[in-house]
Structure 1
Amino acid sequence: MFDFALFGSVFVTLFVIMDPPGTTPIFLALTSGRPVKVQRRMAWQATLVALGVIAVFGLAGRQILDYLGVSLPALMVAGGLLLLLIALDLLTGKSDEPSQTKDVNVALVPLGMPLLAGPGAIVTVILAVQRADGPWEHTAVWSAIAVMHLVLWLTLRYSLLIIRIIKDGGVVLVTRLSGMLLSAIAVQQIANGIQGFITGTT
């Protein structure tokens, strides 16, 4: 039978880690100034990129990392450093410059990877798939992943209504707040990675 307990456990864990409500202001800041159609396209592109990355690591994550000789803490630190660079751009206002973001598809990086499909989500999926026993448990895990990304897309898609309300001045404020939030996420991710090195987590 379908394992609803496992489904709920994986879904809740991914929801907390990927944090759709917390990602919303960062998404709005990175996509501001673009046509609505482009923003909507970026919403599903970011979701698909995240789903693709999660699926690949769910299927062969441990093998990929072992082949490259990369530990999970190293992955966390690398992802944290990349997010920190994006956060600094948001805080200093560099993301407002057309040359910085207008010609770059932020739905791929940093939204899809590593913000949504970050080390935390990747590790969660790798462990969940490894621990799943039998077809029903595997179905529960992958169903939770699929539903999580559906929720993520709906959150990003309808968050665009906020931009119409807060206007340009509000977008600037959201951008700065997003920079602070993202920098905190990045530092925590780096700290977790360093802690993993110290404790010997692999």
Structure 2
Amino acid sequence: MIELFISAFVTLFVVIDPPGCAPIYASLTTGATHAQRRAMAVRAVGIAAAILLVFALWGKQLLGVLGIALDSFRIAGGIMLFIIAMDMVFEKRTQRREDRAHKIAETPEVEDVSVFPMAMPMIAGPGSIATVMLLMSQAEGIGERLVVVAAVVATLVLMLGSLLAAGPIMARLGSKIEAVITRLLGVLLAALAAQFVIDGLKASF
């Protein structure tokens, strides 16, 4: 159980990337009061948690309705995560997030960023939704599924902490250290994504 929790937690942490979301949140909430930033952070993580838990609990049934085999989803999800990993290694993902943040910041009527873009697509995006469904599809029995849910909750707790401490984190880390961490996490995610694809192919043939 401990190994499953660690594996699920590391995968979710790399995909959701709390340290990477912190600077984006800091830039999106520039000018907001401390209370407003705290409220938006809690709301964003709460909404993202609801979305991820819905897909974790009923994602398999959704695939069944659509006629999609779990092994096919493992392969597709692995490929998607591998693309995300390549973007992280070559810093394309960070650039896209920053571009999205600038567009939101330039829109004066947008004040509350908790739903968009923080809850979706930055926290509960396609990659994290696919990851949650993949992990739940591999879990056997209620015990292992609860372990995966616990990993989701733990990751989101860290996300909340990162958003609440976004300003101090960026002041201490700096852009260069953040880039190094992002690249290292990208390499790790690429290996995990490759394993998803291999498992899906083995089960299919």
TM score, norm. by length of structure 1: 0.65
RMSD: 3.7
Count of equivalent residues:
182
**In structure 1, which of residues 113, 126, 129 is the aligned counterpart of residue 125 of structure 2?**
113
Change (3 A) 1:12 1:168: closer
Contact kept, 8 Å, 2:12 with 2:128, in 1: the verdict is yes
- Counterpart CA distance in 2 for 1:141 and 1:187 is 24
Q: Does 1:68 align with 2:68?
A: yes
1:122 alignment counterpart:
133
The one-letter amino acid paired with 1:163 is A
- Counterpart CA distance in 2 for 1:153 and 1:51 is 11
SS in 2 for 1:68: coil
Deviating above 6 A after TM superposition, structure 1's stretches of 4 or more consecutive aligned residues are none
What are the Cα deviations for residues 103-142 of structure 1, in whole angstroms up to 9, with x where unaligned? 75142224213443443x43331132xx32xxxxx2x344
Structure 2: segments with no counterpart, 5+ residues: 30-36, 111-115
- Counterpart CA distance in 2 for 1:71 and 1:159 is 31
1:158 alignment counterpart:
161
SS in 1 for 2:28: coil
- After superposition, where does 1:83-122 map in structure 2 within 5 Å? 84-85=86-87, 87-90=91-94, 93-97=95-99, 98-100=101-103, 102=105, 104-119=116-131, 121-122=132-133
- After superposition, where does 1:1-202 map in structure 2 within 5 Å? 8=2, 10-19=4-13, 23-35=17-29, 36=37, 37-57=39-59, 59-60=60-61, 63=64, 67-68=67-68, 70-82=72-84, 84-85=86-87, 87-90=91-94, 93-97=95-99, 98-100=101-103, 102=105, 104-119=116-131, 121-128=132-139, 131-132=140-141, 138=142, 140-167=143-170, 170=173, 172-173=175-176, 176-177=179-180, 179-181=182-184, 183-185=186-188, 187-192=190-195, 195-196=198-199, 200-202=202-204
Contact kept, 8 Å, 1:95 with 1:101, in 2: the verdict is no
Structure 1: segments with no counterpart, 5+ residues: 1-5, 133-137
